[in-house]
């Protein structure tokens, strides 16, 4: 495959290789907000995407899918366990999400993280033309910017961090806190979701590396060992968004509207449908949401037969202990609530441990009167924006945790602190009872925001900053 002007590097490719029990294999869209946001950006440019195909020991030649050139990186079984499940998702993920689950620190995991980051950096270096641009994504690849700079001084390097960056009090726990900051500072521009994330990062750089920081620019000194000259790295917020048009189109599609009506019917035509859509992850506050909902039913503040909660919990990181325990807990709670409140013809919670195609998601968003986003910590939360983009008649209520990046932008949502169960219950009742006129007033403002700040605007802002950085270097 020819080298590309523009290369994206992310842990996952936009498609996952799925191997069926009979040995046959096919491709499926990868989970999570990162792929949802980046795929449309990449479809619009002639670039290449370096990433892992989602299965251990799969060695594939580069190929094209959905008009994007894909360059697969192979991970061994042990690397999946130590780099992906271990350091990425059992060290960095919990640490950066306010230690909701205790992070594990293991030196072998760090070694695997370093080895795999180097492999991604080498793949990116081989894929990009002279003086081209590489955009590195997310916490799994925090060492890639510096490693790539050492390999290719001619290349402009961007990095976007899709998850929160923690305050120094938490970040300081990381035994490799200096190395990770140095890894990130190989980039010319570092993007974060919220201004607070960028500030936390810059504070960590000041405190841990003692580099000079002026406003949002870090002066990274020359490295005598590797011969990499000094450069400036800019760190600031670029809140990510969604590709709004597919949701608008699906919402206008009579077949999707019919499907939404069918979903309501199949639930026994309740007055109110509440909806939660999350990867099954402890950061999403699913337990808090279920607790509040169960208490509202127990106390008869909401009428069992008139309300249904649909909870889509898509499988995620299923071999990591914290996720195994979370699933057990959620499923126990769901069946307790259903056992107490179901009737033969009506279910309190329709729990779906599956991922769904976008068409079905759009029908669910159309059917839902109230959307519940109760994350305890969330970089952005794109599900909130997908719900808004789908609400074509400007009805519906978004209940949104203050601890999401989206809360910075979506001020007309009903903002909640999910730790405050009484407050969450009151807000859920307020959402269920909200008069239509108020729903419309809020949803119109939310739709304006989301349609104006879509994913194209996000990538354009980042690429403009990267071009400016290149000029300045």
Q: List interacting residues with ligand G6P (CB under 6 A).
A: 12, 31-34, 89, 138, 162-163, 316-317
Q: What is the dihedral of CA 384, 194, 7, 57, to 10 degrees?
A: -70
Of 163 and 233, which CB lies nearer to ligand G6P in the complex structure? 163
CB of 404 to ligand G6P, least distance (A): 12
CB of 436 to ligand G6P, least distance (A): 34
Of 269 and 321, which CB lies nearer to ligand G6P in the complex structure? 321
Distance CA 88, CA 68 (A): 26
**Which H helix or E strand runs over 218?**
strand 217-220
Q: How many CA atoms lie within 13 A of 441 on its CB side?
A: 6
Tokens coding 279:
């990867």
Q: Determine the residue with CB nearest ligand G6P.
A: 32
Distance CA 373, CA 416 (A): 9
CB of 14 to ligand G6P, least distance (A): 10
Angle at 47 between CA 46 and CA 52, to 5 degrees: 145
CB of 162 to ligand G6P, least distance (A): 4
CB 293 within 8 A of CB 428: yes
Of 91 and 333, which CB lies nearer to ligand G6P in the complex structure? 91
CB of 59 to ligand G6P, least distance (A): 20
CB of 163 to ligand G6P, least distance (A): 5
Of 239 and 270, which CB lies nearer to ligand G6P in the complex structure? 239
CB of 456 to ligand G6P, least distance (A): 19
Residues 6+ apart with CB under 8 A from 345: 268
Of 163 and 334, which CB lies nearer to ligand G6P in the complex structure? 163
* Cα 59 to the center of its chain, rounded Å: 26
235 φ, ψ (degrees, to nearest 5): -125, 115
Q: How many CA atoms lie within 13 A of 402 on its CB side?
A: 9
Of 283 and 333, which CB lies nearer to ligand G6P in the complex structure? 283
Of 128 and 280, which CB lies nearer to ligand G6P in the complex structure? 280
Of 240 and 256, which CB lies nearer to ligand G6P in the complex structure? 240
CB of 52 to ligand G6P, least distance (A): 9
* Cα 99 to the center of its chain, rounded Å: 17
CB of 137 to ligand G6P, least distance (A): 7
Closest CA to 159 of 243, 233, 242, 68: 233
Tokens coding 153:
């001084």
Residues 6+ apart with CB under 8 A from 262: none
Of 32 and 396, which CB lies nearer to ligand G6P in the complex structure? 32
Q: What is the dihedral of CA 230, 236, 239, 245, to 10 degrees?
A: -50
Largest CA distance in the chain: 73
CB of 185 to ligand G6P, least distance (A): 20
Buried b / exposed e over 186-212, threshold 16 CB at 10 Å, is bbbbbbbbbeebbbbbbebbeebbebe
Return the number of other C-beta atoms located less than 10 Å from residue 60's C-beta.
Answer: 14
Residues 6+ apart with CB under 8 A from 175: 105, 110
C-alpha torsion sign, points 285, 288, 290, 296: negative
Of 289 and 317, which CB lies nearer to ligand G6P in the complex structure? 317
CB of 409 to ligand G6P, least distance (A): 18
Of 32 and 276, which CB lies nearer to ligand G6P in the complex structure? 32
Of 317 and 425, which CB lies nearer to ligand G6P in the complex structure? 317
First to last CA, the chain: 30
CB of 3 to ligand G6P, least distance (A): 25
Q: Quick check: helix, strand or coil at residue 353?
A: coil
136 forms beta bridges with 9, 159
């Amino acid at each position: 495959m020819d080298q590309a002007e523009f290369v994206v590097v992310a842990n996952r490719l936009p498609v996952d290789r799925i191997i069926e029990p009979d040995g046959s294999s096919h491709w499926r869209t990868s989970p999570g907000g990162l792929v949802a946001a980046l795929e449309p950006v990449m479809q619009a440019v002639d670039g290449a995407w370096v990433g892992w195909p989602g299965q251990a020991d799969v060695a594939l030649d580069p190929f094209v899918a959905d008009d994007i050139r894909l360059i697969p990186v192979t991970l061994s079984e042990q690397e999946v366990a130590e780099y992906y499940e271990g350091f990425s998702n059992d060290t960095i993920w919990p640490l950066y999400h306010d230690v909701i689950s205790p992070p594990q620190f293991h030196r072998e995991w760090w070694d695997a993280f370093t080895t795999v980051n180097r492999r991604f950096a080498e793949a990116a270096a081989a894929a990009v033309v002279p003086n081209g641009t590489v955009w590195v994504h997310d916490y799994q690849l925090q060492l890639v910017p510096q490693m790539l700079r050492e390999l290719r001084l001619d290349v402009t390097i961007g990095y976007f961090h899709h998850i929160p960056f923690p305050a120094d009090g938490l970040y300081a726990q990381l035994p490799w806190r200096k190395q990770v900051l140095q890894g990130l500072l190989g980039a010319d521009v570092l993007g974060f979701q919220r201004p607070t994330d960028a500030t936390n990062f810059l504070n960590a750089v000041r405190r841990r590396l003692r580099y000079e920081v002026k406003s949002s620019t870090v002066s990274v000194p020359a490295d005598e060992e590797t011969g990499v000259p000094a450069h400036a790295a800019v760190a600031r917020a670029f809140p990510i968004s969604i590709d709004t048009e597919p949701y608008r189109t699906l919402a206008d599609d009579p077949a999707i509207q019919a499907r939404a009506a069918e979903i309501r019917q199949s639930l026994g035509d309740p007055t109110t449908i509440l909806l939660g859509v999350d990867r099954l992850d402890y950061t999403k506050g699913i337990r808090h949401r279920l607790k509040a909902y169960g208490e509202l039913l127990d106390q008869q503040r909401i009428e069992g037969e008139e309300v249904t909660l649909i909870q889509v919990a898509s499988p995620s990181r299923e071999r990591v202990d914290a996720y195994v325990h979370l699933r057990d807990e959620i499923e126990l709670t769901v069946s307790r609530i259903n056992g107490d409140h179901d009737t033969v013809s009506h279910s309190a919670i329709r729990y779906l441990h599956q991922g769904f195609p976008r068409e079905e998601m759009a029908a669910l968003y159309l059917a839902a009167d109230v959307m519940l986003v109760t994350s305890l910590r969330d970089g952005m939360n794109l599900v909130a924006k997908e719900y808004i983009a789908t609400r074509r008649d400007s009805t519906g209520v978004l209940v949104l945790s203050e601890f999401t990046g989206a809360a910075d932008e979506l001020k007309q949502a009903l903002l909640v602190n999910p730790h405050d169960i009484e407050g969450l219950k009151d807000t859920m009742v307020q959402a269920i009872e909200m008069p239509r006129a108020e729903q419309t007033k809020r949803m119109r403002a939310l739709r304006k925001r989301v349609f104006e700040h879509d994913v194209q605007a996000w990538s354009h802002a980042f690429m403009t900053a990267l071009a400016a950085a290149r000029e300045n270097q």
